Amino acid sequence: MVQEKYNNIIAQPPKSVELQLTYCCNLHCDMCGQWGKSGIFRENIKNLRNHEITIDAWKNIIDQAAKWKSRINLWGGEPFLKKDIFKIIKYIKSKKLKCSVVTNGVLIDKYYKEIIDSKLDKIFLSIDGTREIHDKIRGKKGTFDKILKGINSLHDLKRKKNLKKPYIEILCTINKDNNKIIDKMPQVSRIFNADKLDLALLMFASSKTANDYRKEFTNRFGFLPKSQNGWILNKTGVNGLKLSEKINKMLYHNNDIFIKTIDNYKTISFKKWYAGSEYRFGFNHCLSPWLRLNIMPNGKANFCIDFPDYIIGDVKKESLSKIWNSEKAKIFREKYLKDGPLPICNRCCWLYNNYSRLIKEWKHEG
Site stretch for ligand SF4 (CB under 6 A), options 147-155, 158-166, 256-264, 346-354: 346-354
Work out how close the CB of 94 gets to ligand SF4 at its nearest, in angstroms, rounded to a whole number: 28
All residues at 6 or more sequence positions from 98 whose CB lies less than 8 Å from its CB, including other chains: 71, 72, 121, 122, 362, 363, 365, 366
Q: Could you tell me how many residues of this chain bind ligand SF4 (CB under 6 A)?
A: 23
Cα–Cα distance, 300 to 186 (Å, whole number): 38
Closest to ligand SF4 by CB, 83 vs 253, is 83
**Residue closer to ligand SF4, measured from CB, 106 or 250:** 106
- Enumerate residues 6+ apart whose C-beta is below 8 A from 242: 179
Amino acid, res. 31: M
Of the candidate spans 6-14, 30-38, 79-87, 158-166, the one that interacts with ligand SF4 by CB under 6 A turns out to be: 30-38
With binding defined as CB under 6 A, does residue 79 bind ligand SF4?
no
Residues 60/116/359/31 CA torsion (nearest 10 deg): 90
Question: Which residue, 194 or 250, is less far from ligand SF4 as judged by CB?
Answer: 194
Q: Which of 296, 293, 242 is nearest to 269 (CA)?
A: 242
Burial (0-12, 13-18, 19+ Cβ within 10 Å), 42 = middle
Minimum distance of ligand SF4 from residue 51's CB (angstroms): 18
> How many angstroms separate the CA atoms of 86 and 100, rounded?
12
Q: Which CB atom, from 11 or from 250, has the smaller least distance to ligand SF4?
A: 11
CA distance 355 to 3: 8
| Contact in structure between 289 and 221 (CB atoms under 8 Å) | no
Q: Which is nearer to ligand SF4, 90 or 328 (CB)?
A: 328
- State yes or no: residue 25 binds ligand SF4 (CB under 6 A): yes
In this structure, how many other beta carbons lie within 10 angstroms of the beta carbon of residue 214? Answer: 18
Contact (Cβ atoms closer than 8 angstroms) between residue 130 and residue 181: yes
- Per the CB < 8 A criterion, the answer to whether 341 and 217 are in contact is no
| Stretch near ligand SF4 under the rule CB under 6 A, chosen from 237-245, 300-308, 313-321, 354-362 | 300-308
Residue (of 140, 135, 78) closest to 104 by Cα position: 78
Interface residue with ligand SF4 among 2, 27, 171, 337 (CB under 6 A) is 27
Asked if 182 and 239 touch (Cβ cutoff 8 Å), the reply is no
Q: Is 350 in the site for ligand SF4 (CB under 6 A)?
A: yes
Cα–Cα–Cα angle for 84, 45, 225, rounded to 5 degrees = 105
Asked whether position 286 contacts ligand SF4 by CB under 6 A, the answer is: yes
Smallest separation (angstroms) from ligand SF4 to the CB of 248: 25
Q: Does 348 bind ligand SF4 (CB under 6 A)?
A: yes
Q: Does residue number 78 form part of the binding site for ligand SF4 (CB under 6 A)?
A: yes
Least distance to ligand SF4, CB of residue 271, Å: 21
CA nearest to 14, candidates 362, 291, 326, 296? 291
Query: Mask of contacts with ligand SF4, 136-165, x by CB under 6 A?
Result: ------------------------------
Among 15, 58, 70, 77, which residue interacts with ligand SF4 (rule: CB under 6 A)? 77
**Site map 88..117 versus ligand SF4, x via CB under 6 A:** ----------------x-------------
Indicate the burial class of 348 (C-beta count within 10 angstroms; 0-12, 13-18, 19 or more). buried
Nearer to ligand SF4, 20 or 261 (CB): 20
**35 is a site residue for ligand SF4 (CB under 6 A):** yes
Comparison of 108 and 344: residue with beta carbon closer to ligand SF4: 344
Report the interface residues with ligand SF4, using CB under 6 A. Answer: 25, 27-29, 32, 34-35, 77-78, 104, 126, 286, 288, 303-304, 307, 341-342, 344-345, 348, 350-351
